[in-house]
Structure 1
Amino acid sequence: MRKFMTLLAFVAAPSLAMSHEFTVGDLFIDHPVANTTAATAMSGAGYLSITNNGDTSDTLIGIEADFPRVMLHDTIVENDIAKMSHIEAAEIAPGETLTFAPGGKHVMFMGLDGDPFEAGEKIDATLIFEKAGRIDVTFDVEDLSHGDAGHSDHSGH
């Protein structure tokens, strides 16, 4: 039995390491991830999903991290041209999931100043919610150029 449990631990460990999640109040924050950047990049993008498992809405009103500027953005397409637009807040209705993903809402870490995001790095940040308050999270830096941003479909249960 001990050999089986040891084998099970080795098999399960990689999948546990791939997903990381955080909870504050009724909010479930799943897999914050930032994309690798080029050496010359001045900013980098972060993604995550937030599920509201409560009975009342809450609003993401800010994010803080150790960069000159950190903002919430959305991607708006006008005349086949994608533009980034700053958003002040993002509401998460009860039972809903707010997704920050490539081509949509995202976190902008600005002022990289020659220090690119490299795979394996960790970016500490604090999400600020209107009702649930503050929660510290860590964005894992991954090379997202070949597919899914590592988001999973969790409801926090």
Structure 2
Amino acid sequence: MNPVFTNIKRAVLGLSLLGLAFSAAAQTRVDNAWVRATVPNQSASGAFMTVTADSDSKLLSVASPAAKDVQIHEMSMKNDVMSMGPVKSVELPAGKTVNFDPNGYHVMLMGLTAQLKEGETVPLTLTVENAKGEKETVKVEAQVKALTMDAHDHSKMH
């Protein structure tokens, strides 16, 4: 066989495998991650973001060294009564952006290890599982934003 064709075949195979590696690594995207700043001695805060998975998946958990306990919560209204509580996971339908905001799903950082000050970042590690049972971890640096109470203050609910 011609050595030029052998090298071309190897290059094409290598590039296609590289493409597979990139597509496998880019299953879930997290954008606009931020955490609400706290006042001294405040023990909890919320983390917010948008999450988009390229295949049907679910967010299983979030971890952060900034808090002793990190939980995924859902805010809901039933019969004019607002309630909030932890959920086991959040469905991430393929290609659809899921919002984590103060009025729906959000991440609670409880037992904070230090005050969260505007301009800092908080590391978050999301664990996502696709429909095949394959787990992926996504690491993000969430910006700490000013304490503007444009939404509900969850710190008093815990």
**TM-score for both structures, normalised by structure 2:** 0.69
Contact 2:64 2:124 in 1 (8 A): yes
* 1:146 CA displacement: 7.2
1:116 & 1:78 partners in 2: Cα distance? Answer: 33
* Alignment partner, residue 117 of structure 1: 116
1:47-66 matches, cutoff 5 A: 47-52=48-53, 54=54, 56-66=55-65
* Alignment partner, residue 31 of structure 1: 32
Contact 2:31 2:50 in 1 (8 A): yes
* Alignment partner, residue 68 of structure 2: 68
* Alignment partner, residue 19 of structure 2: none
1:147 & 1:26 partners in 2: Cα distance? Answer: 32
Matched AA of 2:94:
P
Large movers: runs of 4+ above 3 Å = 78-81
1:146 & 1:37 partners in 2: Cα distance? Answer: 11
Matched AA of 1:125:
L
1:1-157 matches, cutoff 5 A: 24-52=25-53, 54=54, 56-66=55-65, 67-112=67-112, 115-131=114-130, 133-143=136-146, 145=148
Tell me the number of residue pairs that the alignment of Structure 1 and Structure 2 aligns: 123
By percentage of residues, which structure has more helix?
2
1:47 & 1:97 partners in 2: Cα distance? Answer: 13
**TM-score for both structures, normalised by structure 1:** 0.70
Contact 2:61 2:127 in 1 (8 A): yes
* 1:51 CA displacement: 1.6
Matched AA of 2:111:
G
1:78 & 1:43 partners in 2: Cα distance? Answer: 25
Going from structure 1 to structure 2, the CA distance change for 1:51 and 1:144 (only over 3 Å counts) comes to farther
Contact 1:24 1:135 in 2 (8 A): no
2:146 & 2:37 partners in 1: Cα distance? Answer: 5
SS at match of 2:40: coil
* 1:121 CA displacement: 1.3
* 1:34 CA displacement: 0.3
1:83 & 1:24 partners in 2: Cα distance? Answer: 36
* 1:68 CA displacement: 1.1
